[in-house]
Amino acid sequence: MTMQADNNTPAGRTKTPGTTAIAVQSVFRKYYFTQAARIEVPDRIEEREFGYMRFGDSFPAAGGAMVRHLAFRSVGELVASLIRDPPADVFCSNAYYRFPANEMREKEWRGADLIFDIDGKDFDLPCVPSHSYLVCRECGFSDLQENLHGPQAGLSFVCPSCKASRPNITSLPCTKCIDASKNEAIRLVSLLSGDFGIELDRIKVYFSGNNGFHLHVSDDSFNQLDSQARSDIVGYLTGNGLMPESIGVRKAGDRGFAIRFPRGGISYGWRARVAKKLKIDASSEKKLEHIVSQKGGYAGFRTELERIAREEGLVIDPQVTTDTHRVFRMPGTLNSKSGLAKVRCGNIGSFDPFTEACLLEDQEIITTAKADVKVRLRGKTFRLEVKERSILLPAYAAVYLACKGLAELEISS
Amino acid sequence: MSIRLGTSDIAKYPFLREASEYVRQTGFGFEEFDRPEMQYIVDRAARRIEQEIVTGQVFDEFDERTEILTFLISLMIVKSLGMEPILRKYSLFESMRAEKFLVRDLEQLKSKNEKRQLLLFKIFEELFKVKVDIDTTDSRLFKVRVVDYLLRASHFHEQEWKLVNRLVHGGYVYLDADETVRLIRVELSALIYDRVKEMSIPSVPDAIKSRTENLKEKLRPYFEYRTYKVSDYPPCVKHAIEVMNRGENLPHSARVMLATYMLAIEKPVDEIIALFQNAPDYNERITRYQVQHLAGEKGSRTRYSVPSCDKLRNENLCFATAECSGIINPVQFGRRARNNDNAGR
Ligand code: SF4
Ligand SMILES: [Zn+2]
Ligand SMILES: [Zn+2]
């Protein structure tokens, strides 16, 4: 049986529901069955809360149900459950609890790893519209954002096929996207070790499994910090709230200002970053004075400082780091937004997610493209066209496109 | 804690266990407080409490010979006064007093490995679990570990305490003497509070008993009919009242905050209910039930406490001003704010 060519029409929805979901799920099952060793056992596993995102019938258009408050005593127990009924996504708490399976109020929090999320889509790169697709939530019609809106991603969408107006946006990150978040991850590691003094071997960098990187810090002293303290860390990393006073510029009188470098000098941390931007050093109080007046005094300088802070600050998701009760994607498991795995990066600089995180089998699956699309995985380029109807693709490529909502899969026997 | 202290150190930091140990070793007995020449110290202790509670000024007399006994007697008096607000206020003032000594001592450190330095750093480390070190290049600069800093300073409201405005390098935050001591203010006052709480006095000597009675009379007016003017309320509460007065809708969590706060300052239930009468969905009967429930008179019978500043901040109910400095719960607002002002810090 081949896919109906009319899968771009509302009638397409009446096809056997969920064949794509079932096919993806079965590839996921094989992964958990044959590559269970890739799942990274968190320390103190019995104190962690686990969560699953189930496959929805209309995968990937709508997510399935989220299940939380699970607990496992060993990784074997976890893997058994992943094979029995493979979820779309697997999460594990960064927190340790006395009773991880209880409801939130009764878990008894005992600490949480410090975690960071760097997401490629937060960089607003110019390349994004060229590899982002709008997928109609009603009929599954999809096309490049560029084709639908031109390069300027507009806000309104009317499905050319069914006239519905609710699209999902899906993106096939390119190497530029990956490089942007990679860079951020490298900067983050250097701040964590240089400024916060965290030992490098306590900082683990992971590819998120889709379009970004996750950092896990397992350092006993940091894991006791509450969410307020973590938010202070986020502020430091992003440069949010940097005051002129911290580099020695204060208000004086009505419109005036005064300058005295802080006692600790300006050669470290944020002070050093700002000094470098302003091209000043410990002997340049006069020069700084000149800069501040040029910017129109204290208030003007503050605006300038905010700009520098935005430029120099890191782009991380503040919510992930501040939340001490989060379940976070588990290392070694598959990401249902791509079918790629969340994996530890040995050498982040040279890390290539499209080979190193592309771990599904290569058994072929009947695939029907929903949009014209080109993708490069494990060193091979796959080109699909809508008019081509169904073709055979290795599972890793078929699943990648299916997870992106750009292809439908047949159930393999 | 095993620090070898000189008497002058004990006199400055009489809350250290060494202080009571020192008194024990001198063979001093409680009966001796009844001896006439002790009257001076008992009076001094009473004066110390009275000044701090009534005028809100740190008692800054220092007399090395009588300091420890004065402190011990003042603890005894506070204990037998048995009034929680006095104990809290007293703890805060004693910690502010000790802060001054700590800052001065830190500032006077000249070189590394001085005996005094060891003492000071031990106080920080053993009492407050903060490891303090001197910067190698500038002896006026101290460093504490990033985590130790965050555990405390992330609860301060002033922007300048945000990590981003600090010198952070190699795992340390660099601070001057003032800031280093400020970091442990809350813990210092908690320590003194605990010392009083855990103290057991088999029998209070007569001389102290009579002085206590006398003080009780004097202090009563300050604690019994305490009326709160609107300007005394913390900004979060003030804001909630304003919203209410405008007849606008206030989120549930803000109502809980408002009611629990009013209960905490012992406003009569009827007056609390009246605060809500401008609410668009006001219903006297329901409001009364809810307030009584929060008061622990209805339902679960547990009295609800005022949500912490932290929690309120998370719910966007916090409107902190400079006066909120150093507090972790809105109920502390009036006390600290006034204390700080009067102490001229
Ligand atoms: S700091 Fe506390 S008291 Fe002050 S406004 Fe915020 S919540 Fe209210
Ligand atoms: Zn459609
Ligand atoms: Zn890109």
Contact B78, B90 (CB under 8 A): yes
Alpha helices (H) in B35-157, listed in sequence order: 39-50, 67-81, 84-108, 115-122, 128, 146-153
Output A241 or A264, whichever has higher pLDDT: A241
By C-alpha distance, the chain A residue nearest B140 is: A263
Q: Tell me which residue has tokens 């990590």.
A: B163
* pLDDT computed for residue B167 by the predictor: 93
Token pair listed for B74: 């003042």
* Residue B229, in any domain of the structure: no
* Residue A145, in any domain of the structure: yes
Q: Does B287 lie in the same domain as B182?
A: no
* Residue B213, in any domain of the structure: no
* pLDDT computed for residue B223 by the predictor: 63
Q: Over pLDDT 70: what percentage of chain B? A: 87
* Residue B228, in any domain of the structure: no
Q: What is the extent of the structural domain holding B284?
A: 235-343
Instruction: State the average pLDDT over residues A298-309.
Output: 94
Domain total in chain A: 2
Distance (angstroms) between ligand 1 centre and the Cα of B324 equals 6
Q: Any idea of the CA torsion for B223, B224, B229, B233, to the nearest 10 degrees?
A: 60
Question: Given a cut of 60, is residue B300 above it in pLDDT?
Answer: no
Where is the domain boundary, A254, A287, A312?
A: A312
Question: Given a cut of 90, is residue A329 above it in pLDDT?
Answer: yes
* Residue B126, in any domain of the structure: yes
Interface test with A, best of B141, B147, B155, B183 (most A CBs within 10 A): B147
Token pair listed for A100: 């991880």
- Cis preceding linkage at A100, omega within 30: no
* pLDDT computed for residue A413 by the predictor: 54
Question: Given a cut of 50, is residue A165 above it in pLDDT?
Answer: yes
The beta-carbon neighbor of B165 closest among A225, A226, A245 is A245
Where is the domain boundary, A171, A203, A230?
A: A171
* Nearest chain A Cα distance for residue B160, angstroms: 7
* pLDDT computed for residue B4 by the predictor: 53
Where is the domain boundary, A290, A312, A334?
A: A312
Question: Given a cut of 90, is residue B293 above it in pLDDT?
Answer: no
Query: pLDDT class for B276, splitting at 50, 70, 90?
Result: confident
* pLDDT computed for residue A45 by the predictor: 96
* pLDDT computed for residue B344 by the predictor: 33
Q: Does B239 lie in the same domain as B332?
A: yes
Where is the domain boundary, B151, B186, B221?
A: B186
* pLDDT computed for residue B227 by the predictor: 42
Give pLDDT tens digits for B194-243: 877 777 777 778 888 888 888 888 887 766 544 444 457 898 998 888 88
**Side chain identity at residue A85, one-letter code:** D
The beta-carbon neighbor of A195 closest among B147, B168, B313 is B168
* Residue A370, in any domain of the structure: no
Most confident of A38-42, B59-63, B87-91, B270-274: A38-42
Most confident of A49-63, A268-282, B79-93: A268-282
Q: Does B266 lie in the same domain as B117?
A: no
Q: Does B263 lie in the same domain as B175?
A: no
* Residue B271, in any domain of the structure: yes
* CB within 8 Å: A269 and B168: yes
* Nearest chain A Cα distance for residue B163, angstroms: 6
* Residue A280, in any domain of the structure: yes
Q: Does B137 lie in the same domain as B263?
A: no
* Residue B215, in any domain of the structure: no
* Residue A371, in any domain of the structure: no
Q: Measured between alpha carbons, how far is A101 from B31 in angstroms, rounded to an integer?
A: 59
Question: Given a cut of 80, is residue A310 above it in pLDDT?
Answer: yes
Question: Given a cut of 60, is residue B73 above it in pLDDT?
Answer: yes
* Residue A227, in any domain of the structure: no
Instruction: State the average pLDDT over residues A126-146.
Output: 86
Distance (angstroms) between ligand 2 centre and the Cα of A88 equals 24
Q: Measured between alpha carbons, how far is A132 from A277 in angstroms, rounded to an integer?
A: 35
* Residue A1, in any domain of the structure: no
Q: Measured between alpha carbons, how far is A234 from A220 in angstroms, rounded to an integer?
A: 19
Q: What is the extent of the structural domain holding A148?
A: 128-171
Q: Does B239 lie in the same domain as B181?
A: no
Q: Does B46 lie in the same domain as B141?
A: yes
Q: Over pLDDT 90: what percentage of chain A? A: 72
* Residue A303, in any domain of the structure: yes
* Residue A291, in any domain of the structure: yes
* Residue B106, in any domain of the structure: yes
Q: Does B256 lie in the same domain as B181?
A: no
